[in-house]
Amino acid sequence: MKKTILAVCFALFSGVVRAGEPSFGDLAVLLAKGYFGGYVKQDASLQQCVAFLNSKGVYFSPFDLLDSEKAVSREEFARVVGQSMLLFSGKAELVQGRIKKPVEAETWVDYCLLNDIDLLPIWGGFVQCTKGGSLPEVKAFLGKQSGDRQ
């Protein structure tokens, strides 16, 4: 029953970035400084957050980071949360530098459902943190990128 309710609620999550919803850059900063705050300095830049996460197998693509309008899909959100949980549990298996999805789940969303990881409150927390727009670390990164092109 709990999984059915979660699945129905999760279907409401559109996967489209709207004002106040985190981009991939916001997601990387919030994940690194929130979940891994004991390992990542609170004044770390977006690049430092991504380097830390990528080194642990929670992969963020440079292309996703450069596109502040790209939607964070349900599957991508579930992937970074699921990979983080596997890393914390010590059960993470790295394949080509990325944490592999366990075989018992067809998708990362399935993995979260099977392991009672309720994604909606986590997503809600990320949305709350970005309700005023992208995080300063992301704005600084995107500002540098646009400045490099001039």
Using an 8 Å Cβ cutoff, are 112 and 81 in contact?
yes
- At 143, the pLDDT band (50, 70, 90 cuts) reads confident
Separation CA 93–CA 15 (nearest Å): 27
Global pTM reads 0.80
Instruction: With a cut of 60, say whether residue 7 has pLDDT above it.
Output: no
- Cα angle, residue 31 at apex, residues 30 and 35 outer, rounded to 5°: 115
Where do the structural domains in the chain lie, given as residue ranges? 2-149
Integer Cα distance of 85 and 77 in angstroms:
12
Q: Helix 74-89 vs helix 119-129: angle between axes, to the nearest 10 degrees?
A: 110
Q: Which residue bears the tokens 């981009």? A: 23
Q: What is the pLDDT of residues 113-129, one digit of tens each?
A: 999 999 999 999 888 98
Give per-residue pLDDT as tens, 66-102: 988 888 888 999 999 999 999 999 999 999 999 999 9
The stretches of the chain forming alpha helices (DSSP H) are 2-12, 24-30, 46-56, 62-66, 74-89, 108-114, 119-129, 136-149
